[in-house]
Structure 1
Amino acid sequence: MHIIAVGLNYRTAPVEIREKFTFSERDLPVAVAELKDTKSILECVIVATCNRTEIYAVVDRPQLCSHYLTHFIEHWFQVSKDQFQKHLYMYENDKAIEHLFRVTSGLDSMVIGETQILGQVRDAFLLSQNMKATGAYFNTLFKQSVTLAKKAHSETGISNNPVSVSYAAVELGKRIFGSYLNKTVMIIGAGKMSELTVKHLYANGANKVIVVNRTFERAVELADKFNGIPCTIDQMLGYLPEVDIIISSTGAPGYVLTKTDIQPYLQKRKSRPLFMMDIAVPRDLDPGISDLPNVFLYDIDDLENIVDKHLQERKKEAAKIEVMIDSEMVAFDQWTKTLGVSPLIQALQTKAGQIHEETMESMLKKLPELDDREIKVIRKLTKSIVNQVLRDPILRIKEMAGERHGDEALELFTKLFALEDTLEQQEQAQEAERKAVEAETKYMDEEKLSLRSLQTVDALAHS
């Protein structure tokens, strides 16, 4: 078995390419089902976010499967592989496992250490699991990955330091207010940066927003998103006495608010602090405002300095998570090695059981006078002898499978006990069972289709 990760993300593909390869929430279950039915794909999970589209798969032949996966992407999105192949990355086995651990922990994100991806990976896995598209490998690997990410965020400080200008501005305001509960926010300008900052403020308790914009219609549009109050530039000074926070991000060539504009309103504020964030370039707010009492003014450079400092702190914490990932990879590797033990143990027990039964039959032919009670006692005692003889070899091979040369130990174990034929018989039996299940499923699908056809004909006949 091999584990493969194939995908494209914000590093390998620009947004105009990424947007062609997005799965809608409605279509994702259909895509997972189709992917699971793809030749040589044994297990699969699709992780789809705004910054990445990735397919994780357990496959039996990695070389051919790269072709099958590329064909699946080409077929599903109806885009020629020539348009996306150069943007694809593919990782196999240890590299794929490490990549998943890094993605889930937020180390591969555009904003390092973000936690949203953890929920997205978990949801992607649960969808595939519910659809029976995962098995032993991914049920263990994805649960381990999610647990690792939770541990990484709880045991390190990677999430403690904001690394976006808008979030840094919100965190900065907490130092002044302590809490945003019942605070009034004024946004000057209605761009993306202002909107994102207000979202963070609302998430932290701010409950009233005043949207100021030169174009009143745009002010109304943004105000509606936050159940806010729209107003024009000419009207904004009238709201100054009640405002706690001002965020300004316009494209104006000069200052939107000056020290002279604000000064007359300070007396009406009764010494309440006014927190002002100028995230515009060129600046919207007169630097002289910072000289006014109880007014705290910060510009884009102040915020970016905070972001740079916090990013360095996150990188330090990320190094701790890298060590945790190394440890988890060793644990998963040891677990996968023990998977190879189960067929060997089953083969050894099967072979020993066959030998035991053949020996019992031979003995019964030679001792026909034995009664049922005697046969039962002999069978039980001889079976106990077989189990005791097998006990130590089974324990030892379980231990050796998890060690450095586990594969060699499994191979030697197979040769020592001459299990090749028994293993082959087991594989043939499993393959026959798999084909029988597939045939039964196909038959049931055909029956359902036939029934639908009859129902359709019946409906038409009565219409």
Structure 2
Amino acid sequence: MHLIAISINHRTADVALREKVAFKEDAIRSANLDLFETKSILENVILSTCNRTEVYVVADQIHTGRYYVQRFLARHFGLEVDDIKAISEVKVGDEAVNHILRVTSGLDSIVLGETQILGQMRKAFFIAQEEDTTGTIFNHLFKQAITFAKKAHNESDIADNAVSVSYAAVELGKKIFGNIENKKAIIVGAGEMSELSLLNLIGAGVSNITVVNRTLAKAETLASKHNVSADTLNSLPNLLAEADIVISSTSANGYVITNEMMKQVASHRKNDSLVLIDIAVPRDIEPGINAISDIFNYDVDDLQGLVDANLRERQVAAESIAQQIPNEINAHNEWVNMLGVVPVIRALREKAMTIQSETMDSIDRKLPNLSERERKVISKHTKSIINQMLKDPIKQAKELGNDRKSSEKLELFQNIFDIEAEEPIPAKQDKLKRSQRNLSAQILSFE
């Protein structure tokens, strides 16, 4: 069995290409089932987000497994296999496990350490599990990856520091005011950066928000989308008199908020402080406003310093998380290796307990007058002898699981003790059992 991860992400393809190979949400389930029926594919999970499309499979062969996944993607999106090869990364074995762990914990994201991908990975796994396209290997690996990512985020501050300008703008407001849930905010502009700032304000618990734009229709479109208020630039001076936080991001050629405007606003203000955050380039807010009492103006350079410092903090945390990944890979490999050992240990114990049971039967025939207490004492001591005798062989069997020649040595182990272990039930047997179960369900549905 071989783990393969095929990834189309922000490093391998630009956004236009990534859009072409993104699965629609209502197509993920059928796509998982379609891939699962493909030759060589024993288990599979499909992850599709705005920044990446990834397919994880357990395959019986590396080359055929990789090819059939690439062919599946090409067919699904109406492309050539070579097109998929040109925009994808292929990871196999330990590299695939490493990739899954890094993606799930946010170390492979455009925004380092973001936590949204954890939920997306969990959802992708649950969908595949519900469609029965995962089995022994992936049921263990994805639970391990999700648990690792949650623990990594909880034990580090990787996701606590803002690393986008729009998010940093809101974080700055929180640093100044503390709790900003009851503050009045104004978003100047109705473009992409304005919407990101709006979303970050809403995420921080702010509900009293007004979107202001030169064109009222655009302000209303953005405002109605997020259930906040809208107004025109002409109303800005009146709104500023009541506001606490202003985040401005327009494409205006001149200053939208001037010193003269703020001098007039300051004379009518009732609130203590007004924080102006200018994330536009060129700037929307005229420099020098800081000279006005209780009005504080920050531009994109001020925020960039905060972003850079936070990014360094995230990088330190990310490096700490990355150092834990080799241990996770080793743990996964040890678990996989034990899949072949467990049936051998089970067979050894079953043979030993059969001998003990037969011995007790013999004792009962030869010593029929034993009391129940005497029989229990003899049974307990014979089991104790067996457990002590099995301790070292079981330890040796477990160590064989990590040996390069584990299959040969486990076979010799079975010959020595004259036992025959059942085959472990990873991918191939899982797939066969699921296929048989699905076939049975189809037959019942026709009856």
Q: TM class by shorter-chain length? A: 0.7 to 0.9
Q: Which residue is equivalent to 2:409?
A: 412
Kept in 2: contact 1:46–1:124 (CA 8 A) = yes
CA-CA distance at 1:62 after TM superposition: 1.3
Amino acid at match of 1:159: A
Cα 1:208–1:76 change in 2 (3 A) is: same
Helix, strand or coil at the partner of 2:198: helix
* Preserved CA contact (<8 Å) 2:242 2:271: no
Shift of 1:47: 1.3
Q: Name the CA distance, whole Å, in 1 between partners of 2:436 and 2:176.
A: 69
Checking the alignment, whether the CA contact within 8 Å between 1:352 and 1:386 is kept in structure 2 is no
Q: Is the 8 A contact 1:258 1:288 kept in 2?
A: no
Q: CA deviation at 1:274?
A: 0.5
Identity of aligned residues (%): 40
Distance 2:46 2:131 in 1: 12
C-alpha distance in 2 between matches for 1:10 and 1:102: 15
- Given the two structures, how large is their TM-score scaled by the length of structure 2? 0.86
**Structure 1 residues 274 and 437, CA, compared in 2 at 3 Å: closer, same or farther?**
closer
How many angstroms apart in 2 are the aligned matches of 1:24 and 1:420? 55
Mapping of 1:85-124 within 5 angstroms? 85-124=85-124
Alpha-carbon deviations, 1:96-154, whole Å to 9, x = none? 00111111111000000101111111111122222222222112111111111111111
**2:38 matched to which residue of 1?**
38
Distance in 2 between residues matched to 1:353 and 1:61, nearest whole Å: 39
1:33 maps to a residue whose letter is: L
CA shift, 1:343, in A, is 3.6
Q: Deviations over 1:242-261 (max 9, x none)?
A: 11111111111111111111
Aligned to 1:250: 250
Letter of the 1:136 partner, please give it.
T
- Partner Cα distance (2:116, 2:225) in 1: 22
Contact 2:347/2:421 (<8 A) preserved? no
Name the residue aligned to 2:171: 171
In the TM superposition, residue 323 of structure 1 has moved relative to its aligned partner by 1.4
CA distance in 2, matches of 1:70, 1:158: 34
Q: Secondary structure of 1:133's match?
A: coil
| Further displaced range: 223-232 or 116-125 | 223-232
Counterpart residue number, 2:394: 395
Partner of 2:373: none
Q: Determine which structure has greater relative contact order: mean sequence separation of CA pairs < 8 Å that are 6+ residues apart, divided by chain length.
A: 2
Q: Matched residues in 2 for 1:427 and 1:334: separation?
A: 15
1:125 and 2:117 are equivalent in the alignment = no
Q: Secondary structure at the match of 1:26?
A: helix
- SS of 1:262's equivalent in the other structure is helix
Separation in 1, partners of 2:183, 2:51: 33
- Deviation readout 1:395-444 (Å, 9 max, x if unpaired): 12343136xx523355224225438998698589x989986874574364
Matches within 5 A, 1:88-237: 88-237=88-237
Q: How much does 1:68 deviate?
A: 1.2
What displacement does 1:11 show?
A: 1.0
Return 5+ residue gaps in structure 2 as ranges: 371-377
Provide, for residues 344-395 of structure 1, a one-character-per-residue CA deviation record: whole Å limited to 9, x for no partner: 33565688899x8xxx9xxxxxxxxx9x956999xx99x9799669724541
Residue 61 (structure 1) shift: 1.1
Conserved? CA contact 1:334–1:401, under 8 Å: no
SS for the counterpart of 2:296 is: strand
Structure 2 residue matching 1:187: 3-state secondary structure: strand
2:25 aligns with: 25
Aligned equivalents of 1:147 and 1:431: distance in 2? 26
How many residues are matched?
432
CA distance in 1, matches of 2:222, 2:81: 40
CA contact (8 A) 2:6 2:89 kept: yes
Classify 1:275/1:437 alpha carbon distance in 2 versus 1 (closer, same or farther; 3 Å): closer
The alpha-carbon distance between structure 1 residues 431 and 53, as it changes in their structure 2 partners (threshold 3 A), is: closer
Equivalent pair of 2:400/2:409 in contact (CA under 8 Å)? no
Kept after mapping to 1: 8 A contact 2:340/2:424: no
CA contact (8 A) 1:341 1:410 kept: no
CA–CA separation in structure 1 for the residues paired with 2:424 and 2:147: 34
TM-score, normalization by structure 1: 0.84
1:282 and 2:282 matched = yes
Instruction: Determine the structure 2 residue equivalent to 1:460.
Output: none
Describe the superposition over 1:438-461 as per-residue Cα deviations: whole angstroms up to 9, x where unpaired. Answer: 45743642563x56xxxxxxxxxx
> Match of 2:272?
272
SS at match of 2:283: coil
Tell me the SS of whatever aligns to 1:108. Answer: coil
> What SS does structure 1 have at the residue aligned with 2:99?
helix
Q: CA deviation at 1:171?
A: 0.7
Distance (whole Å) between structure 2 residues aligned to residue 265 and residue 433 of structure 1: 71
Unmatched tracts of structure 1, length 5 or more: 361-369, 452-463
SS of 2:26's partner is: coil
* One-letter code aligned to 1:412: K
> Does 1:6 find its partner at 2:3?
no
Separation in structure 2 between the aligned mates of residue 353 and residue 122 of structure 1, nearest angstrom: 42
> Judging changes above 3 Å, is the alpha-carbon distance between structure 1 residues 83 and 412 closer, same or farther for their aligned structure 2 residues?
closer
Secondary structure at the counterpart of residue 227 of structure 1: coil
Distance 1:373-1:39 versus aligned 2 partners, 3 A rule: farther
Looking at structure 1, the residues matched to 179 and 430 of structure 2 have their Cα atoms a distance apart, in angstroms, of 63
Structure 1 position 226, deviation (Å): 3.2
